[in-house]
């Protein structure tokens, strides 16, 4: 496209390089999205806890990026499954696989702000937010005192873990107390960590997943709360789930990858706008002129006009009248489907019935036509009278 205009190519490449370099050198804004991804080093990623688990809280850690159904089919016995996300909403197949996984004697730990759908219905649990922090800035939330988590274990009953309101605080507003045991609570005895035993397996539910994020793990005095919670997973093999994440990396498309990077997004926009501007200004100048085509004229009327003048100037009224009668009879045959070879009483009656014109006028017209056909010569008045009668017949005819 730029082959014939190299100066535009150089200008474009220079601007492109400057924008990429500027975006790359600018300080990166902090990403406060709650991804809970193991490779994410942002405040609400789980890079720190993921890299501390192996060798300390489990001998082996397995990375899972498939559904519970696939995991259940190939999973080993006596394993612990850890799911951390802001919302958990399993389908029927997931729930069935979850119970099958627990029946094998495995452990499942789910940390989520909200439990919805079939999972919440089958376990008869409900969650609710302790306070609303949607209308505050990040800086103000960091300085606001929020959750005060306490564990029910005797050796931790006197220890408190106080978090800022930056951590989303939800609690179990409804659960079956005969089925679930409270392991931790925050503020006014609101349960945030509960446990139940299902057949041979153990199910742990926690309503504050932010406890496991990088912000509250790295150089934070409350990191022991995450360690204490993870210590309930005593199986040798720990399965870290990455499939049931809101920001599942397997669902990323090429455009999504581009849009999430400021440098690539700026380059993408630059390319789009450069192509548009080039098409508008340069493409238009080099467009070949479109030839103007002369609209075809209808020469039929001109031909008729010439022929009519020839007849008129030659004073051949009889010839014009005969041609007019031939044309009129042709229309009669097409419209009424009647032969015009013989003009008799039967013909007049049929024409009268089909056209709806008075029989006297119809008989007068066709008699006049036959009279002119056998005449040697006619006057200009006779020609005008013939044309008038034919015109009136065509005008008043039903067909």
- DSSP assignment string, 316-342: -HHHHHHHHHHHHHHHHHHHH----S-
Question: For 181-209, how does the pLDDT look when each residue is reduced to its tens digit (9 = 90+)?
Answer: 999 988 778 899 999 998 788 999 999 99
Asked if 215 contacts 208 with a C-beta cutoff of 8 angstroms, the reply is: no
Alpha-carbon gap, residue 267 to 99, rounded angstroms: 49
Alpha-carbon gap, residue 17 to 197, rounded angstroms: 60
Question: For 235-255, how does the pLDDT look when each residue is reduced to its tens digit (9 = 90+)?
Answer: 778 899 998 888 775 545 566
Among 196, 32, 60, 61, CA closest to 122: 196
Is the model's pLDDT at 211 over the cut of 80?
Answer: yes
Please report which confidence band the pLDDT of residue 1 belongs to, taking 50, 70 and 90 as the band edges: very low
Is the model's pLDDT at 330 over the cut of 70?
Answer: yes
pLDDT average, residue stretch 160-186: 87
Q: What are the backbone angles phi and psi of residue 164, rounded to the nearest 5°?
A: -80, 170
Q: Specify which of 159-163, 172-176, 247-251 reaches the highest per-range mean pLDDT.
A: 172-176
Among 83, 201, 132, 203, CA closest to 193: 203
| Crossing angle between the packed helical segments 262-285 and 6-25, to the nearest 10 degrees | 160
> What is the third-level CATH fold of 47-246?
Rossmann fold (3.40.50)
Domain ranges of the chain: 47-246, 300-396
Which residues have C-beta within 8 Å of that of residue 265, sequence separation ≥ 6? 258, 259
State the distance between the two ends of the chain, measured CA to CA, in whole angstroms. 65
Among 241, 217, 210, 206, CA closest to 83: 241
Question: For 58-86, how does the pLDDT look when each residue is reduced to its tens digit (9 = 90+)?
Answer: 778 888 888 888 887 665 668 889 999 99
Q: How far are the Cα atoms of 101, 119, 269, 370, 394 from residue 324, in angstroms, in the given order?
A: 99, 92, 74, 12, 13
Q: Is 176 exposed, middle or buried (0-12, 13-18, 19+ CB in 10 A)?
A: exposed
Which residues have C-beta within 8 Å of that of residue 33, sequence separation ≥ 6? 42, 44, 247
Q: How far are the Cα atoms of 142, 313, 346, 387 from residue 327, in angstroms, in the given order?
A: 99, 21, 22, 11
Among 229, 204, 243, 246, CA closest to 53: 229
Question: For 29-66, how does the pLDDT look when each residue is reduced to its tens digit (9 = 90+)?
Answer: 788 888 899 888 888 899 989 888 877 777 788 888 88
Please report which confidence band the pLDDT of residue 110 belongs to, taking 50, 70 and 90 as the band edges: very high
Please report which confidence band the pLDDT of residue 120 belongs to, taking 50, 70 and 90 as the band edges: very high
Among 308, 339, 343, CA closest to 323: 308
Asked if 170 contacts 113 with a C-beta cutoff of 8 angstroms, the reply is: yes
Lowest mean pLDDT: which of 271-275, 287-291, 326-330?
287-291
> Whats the size of the chain, residue-wise?
399
Percentage of residues of the chain with pLDDT beyond 90? 16
Q: For residue 275, what are its two tokens? A: 């192509």
Is the model's pLDDT at 316 over the cut of 90?
Answer: no
Half-sphere exposure of 29 (CA within 13 A, CB side): 9
Q: At 94, which helix (H) or strand (E)? A: helix 92-103
Q: What residue ranges in 15-70 does DSSP mark as E strands?
A: 60-64
Q: Which residue has the tokens 């119970």?
A: 99
- Edge to edge, what strands does the sheet with 190-198 contain? 60-64, 237-241, 79-88, 107-115, 201-206, 190-198, 181-186, 145-151, 161-164
Q: How far is CA 384 from the centre of its chain?
A: 73
Is the model's pLDDT at 139 over the cut of 70?
Answer: no
């Amino acid at each position: 496209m730029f082959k014939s205009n190299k100066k535009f190519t150089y200008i474009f490449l220079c601007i492109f390089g400057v924008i990429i370099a500027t975006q790359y050198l600018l300080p990166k804004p902090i990403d406060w999205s709650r991804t809970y991804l193991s490779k994410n080093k942002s405040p609400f990623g789980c890079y720190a806890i993921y890299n501390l688990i192996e060798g300390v809280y489990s001998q082996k850690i397995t990375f899972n990026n498939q559904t519970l159904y696939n995991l259940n089919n190939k999973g080993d016995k006596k394993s612990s499954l850890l799911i951390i996300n802001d919302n958990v909403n399993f389908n029927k197949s997931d729930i069935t696989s979850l119970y099958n996984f627990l029946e094998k004697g495995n452990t499942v730990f789910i940390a989520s702000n909200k439990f919805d759908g079939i999972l919440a219905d089958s376990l008869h649990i409900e969650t609710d937010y302790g306070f609303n922090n949607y209308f505050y800035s990040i800086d103000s939330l960091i300085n606001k005192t929020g959750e005060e988590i306490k564990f029910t274990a005797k050796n931790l009953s006197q220890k408190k873990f106080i978090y800022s309101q930056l951590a989303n605080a939800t609690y179990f507003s409804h659960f079956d107390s005969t089925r679930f045991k409270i392991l931790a609570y925050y503020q006014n005895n609101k349960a945030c960590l509960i446990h139940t035993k299902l057949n041979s397996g153990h199910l742990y539910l926690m309503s504050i997943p932010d406890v496991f994020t990088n912000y509250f793990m790295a150089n934070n005095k409350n990191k022991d709360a995450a360690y204490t919670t993870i210590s309930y997973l005593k199986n040798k093999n720990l399965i870290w789930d990455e499939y049931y994440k809101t920001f599942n990396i397997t669902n990323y498309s090429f455009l999504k990858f581009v849009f999430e990077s400021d440098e690539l997004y700026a380059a993408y926009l630059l390319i789009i706008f450069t192509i548009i501007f080039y098409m508008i200004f340069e493409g238009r100048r080099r467009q070949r002129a479109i030839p103007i085509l002369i609209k075809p004229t209808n020469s039929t009327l001109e031909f008729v006009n010439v022929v009519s003048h020839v007849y008129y100037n030659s004073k051949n009224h009889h010839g014009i009248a005969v041609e007019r009668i031939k044309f009129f009879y042709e229309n009669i045959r097409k419209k009424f489907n009647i032969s015009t070879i013989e003009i008799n009483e039967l013909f007049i009656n049929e024409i009268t019935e089909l056209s709806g014109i008075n029989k006297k006028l119809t008989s007068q017209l066709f008699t006049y036509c036959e009279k002119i056909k056998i005449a040697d010569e006619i006057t200009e008045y006779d020609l005008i009278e013939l044309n008038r009668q034919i015109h009136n017949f065509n005008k008043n005819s039903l067909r």
